[in-house]
Structure 1
Amino acid sequence: MPDLPFPLSSSTLVVGPSNTGKTRLTAQALDSWVTEHGPEGVVVLEFAPEVERDGVLLGGRLSRFTEVPDDAWHGVLEAHAPRSASESEEEARELASENAANAGRLLDAAPANPTAVFVNDATIALQADADATGRLTSYCDRADVAVLNAFESDELGSDDAVSRNERAALRRLRAWAERVVELG
């Protein structure tokens, strides 16, 4: 198992554009934690949509790179990619709102006292309302370790409401995280 470029303690945010290894690195962190501590108390929140653009898969689940242990709590959001899947800014906002509502239900269902939290594509849950960032980070603060990854790029847009909310959420996640790993 390759060494991680960060310790598995407190909070880590992994950011970068599409296809830079954010999900792979988060999967490696999950594997490292489970190898050392076991799956008890592990919470995996899968917020990533799987979208193909120009023949390239954007995003994707941790399961592309690892197997989430059966004994871990695994919440999977059937996420939309608001900017890629919509025909208008209004439709993008509607898809982002649906993602946020469904992500909220996953957080409600997650175990109250996690030991380790791994979040794949954290900002998908925050594209409708950056103020919801506090709910996610408060949950992660209950754990000994939290590793979150998030898309950070203007490649999918920058001047629309979804992108503005995403950037605001990223600023909040960066301010919260003990460390930020930038890829790409």
Structure 2
Amino acid sequence: MTDSPVPLSGTTLLAGPSQVGKTRTTARAFEAWLDRHGTDGVVVLEFAPEVERDGELLGGRLDRFTSVPDDVWHGVLDAHAPRADATSDDEALALARENAEHARTVLEAAPKPTAVFVNDATIPFQADHGNVSLLVDHLADAECAVLNAFESDELGAENPVSRRERDVVGTLRERVDRTINLE
């Protein structure tokens, strides 16, 4: 049986900077849930963009670390990385708004979960009109929710996307049962 790096009950937020193992830890928790409970009612929300910086892939999707079985509901956002892809704050905000619009469609299509695993939970809410309650409400009825979120100033601190992301992480911290800071 796969050991879980986090409790498999209630809601857990994994927070930290790039390259500290947030996605890998989420994948391990996902595998442990599947080993113990199977796939019934499992939802994976994949919001992570694929970003390469200095020849290194940062973050990335959950399926880099584990296979998502066909009978797991797998909602994938083809996400932009607003701060990496944009040349200005206005362009970054426009990309964040596009992520928010597409993420709403993914969240609205997701079935009511028994367990939910969310990769890069802040991406859908980096725009000024992204409503993090959409995600939090979706997690409320799950027996287990594990989500990860970027938390660092390494991509800038004073641009509108970073400021909003900090607010979203703060809201998530307030609304989950526990936060595990990875460094």
Q: TM-score normalised to the size of structure 2?
A: 0.97
Aligned partner letter, 2:76? V
Query: Which ranges in structure 1 are unaligned for 5 or more consecutive residues?
Result: none
1:168 partner SS: helix
Shift of 1:63: 0.4
- 1:83 is matched with 83
- Are 1:134 and 2:152 an aligned pair? no
Distance 2:180 2:106 in 1: 26
Q: Is the 8 A contact 1:45 1:118 kept in 2?
A: yes
Q: Is the 8 A contact 1:130 1:169 kept in 2?
A: no
Count of residues in Structure 1 that have an aligned counterpart in Structure 2: 183
Query: Which ranges in structure 2 are unaligned for 5 or more consecutive residues?
Result: none
2:161 partner SS: helix
Q: Kindly tell me: are residues 182 and 146 of structure 1, through their superposed partners in 2, closer, same or farther at Cα, counting changes over 3 Å?
A: same
Q: Kindly tell me: are residues 5 and 69 of structure 1, through their superposed partners in 2, closer, same or farther at Cα, counting changes over 3 Å?
A: same
Q: Is the 8 A contact 1:30 1:118 kept in 2?
A: yes
Aligned partner letter, 2:109? A
Distance 2:173 2:148 in 1: 11
- 2:31 is matched with 31
RMSD of the alignment, in Å?
A: 1.2
2:145 partner SS: strand
Q: Is the 8 A contact 1:130 1:165 kept in 2?
A: no
Q: Report sequence identity in percent.
A: 60
1:20-169 aligned at under 5 Å gives the runs: 20-111=20-111, 113-129=112-128, 132-169=131-168
Distance 1:130 1:66 in 2: 32
Aligned partner letter, 2:93? R
Q: Is the 8 A contact 1:131 1:169 kept in 2?
A: no
Distance 1:13 1:30 in 2: 14
Q: Is the 8 A contact 2:4 2:29 kept in 1?
A: yes
1:146 partner SS: strand
2:44 partner SS: strand
Q: Kindly tell me: are residues 141 and 179 of structure 1, through their superposed partners in 2, closer, same or farther at Cα, counting changes over 3 Å?
A: same
Distance 1:115 1:3 in 2: 19
Q: Kindly tell me: are residues 83 and 32 of structure 1, through their superposed partners in 2, closer, same or farther at Cα, counting changes over 3 Å?
A: same
1:156 partner SS: coil
- Are 1:176 and 2:175 an aligned pair? yes
Shift of 1:166: 0.2
